[in-house]
């Protein structure tokens, strides 16, 4: 089997959420990854949006790597259908492996776990620990209030416009995914796909 064209880390909820558009978006992201010859790297659960994006990726011909801490194997129902399922000891190990195995990051709707993972990866990018593209998929206005608040952090002088622009935002999956992967190709050149390690 040939190597995947890229590896995309997706952060998202272990629940489906109240709006069916969240599930539609998760399936669309997975389908796009698979149809584009990519590989999904995610938190390893089979419930909620996590399971949906994983199932859609595999159904479209893509590979899936799951990384899940032992303490969450039962709570998040580890997805044994992953092409690779890594059970680790801590959340720190989980996040490090997700980052190491990915070329870009995308956050879908989710809860505090999704927020924490997104903000850590964004902070790492800001501090120069990686240069991987980052995206936020704002489905059904889910992140509107957060984005408004982030604008206030710029106005208040706690974040620069440059840092804010590191996070690419869109309401549509396909254009955002295309920009993330095009950003990889532009930065990596002949070395695409990159495999930088945090």
- 152-169, pLDDT tens digit by residue? 999 999 999 999 999 999
According to the model, what pLDDT value does residue 186 have? 61
According to the model, what pLDDT value does residue 188 have? 52
Mean pLDDT across the stretch 65-89? 92
pLDDT in tens, 22-72: 999 999 999 999 999 999 999 999 999 999 999 999 999 999 999 999 999
According to the model, what pLDDT value does residue 34 have? 98
For residue 192, pLDDT over 70 is answered with no
Nearest to 9 by CA among 89, 90, 125: 125
What pTM value is reported for the model?
0.92
Task: Report whether 47 contacts 78 (CB < 8 A).
Answer: no
Give me the residue spans of the domains in the chain. Answer: 8-185
For residue 189, pLDDT over 60 is answered with no
According to the model, what pLDDT value does residue 191 have? 46
pLDDT in tens, 105-152: 999 999 999 999 999 999 999 999 999 999 999 999 999 999 999 999
According to the model, what pLDDT value does residue 37 have? 96
> For the chain, what is the mean pLDDT?
92
What CATH number belongs to 8-185? 3.40.50.450
pLDDT band at 197 (very low <50, low <70, confident <90, very high): very low
């Amino acid at each position: 089997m040939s190597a995947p064209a890229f590896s995309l880390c997706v952060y998202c909820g272990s629940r489906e959420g109240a709006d069916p558009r969240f599930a539609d978006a998760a399936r669309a992201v997975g389908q796009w990854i698979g149809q584009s010859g990519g590989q999904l790297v995610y938190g390893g659960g089979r419930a909620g949006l996590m399971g949906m994006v994983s199932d859609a990726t595999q159904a479209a011909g893509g590979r899936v790597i799951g990384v899940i801490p032992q303490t969450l194997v039962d709570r998040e129902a580890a997805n044994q259908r992953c092409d690779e399922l890594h059970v680790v000891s801590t959340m720190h190990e989980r996040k490090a492996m997700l980052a190491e195995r990915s070329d870009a990051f995308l956050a879908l709707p989710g809860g505090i776990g999704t927020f924490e993972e997104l903000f850590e990866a964004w902070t790492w990018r800001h501090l120069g620990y990686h240069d991987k593209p980052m995206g936020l998929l704002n489905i059904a206005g889910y992140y509107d209030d957060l984005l408004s608040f982030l604008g206030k952090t710029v106005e208040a002088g706690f974040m620069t416009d440059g840092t804010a622009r590191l996070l690419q935002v869109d309401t549509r999956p396909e254009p955002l995914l295309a920009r993330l992967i095009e950003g990889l190709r532009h930065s990596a050149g002949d070395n695409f796909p990159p495999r930088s390690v945090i």
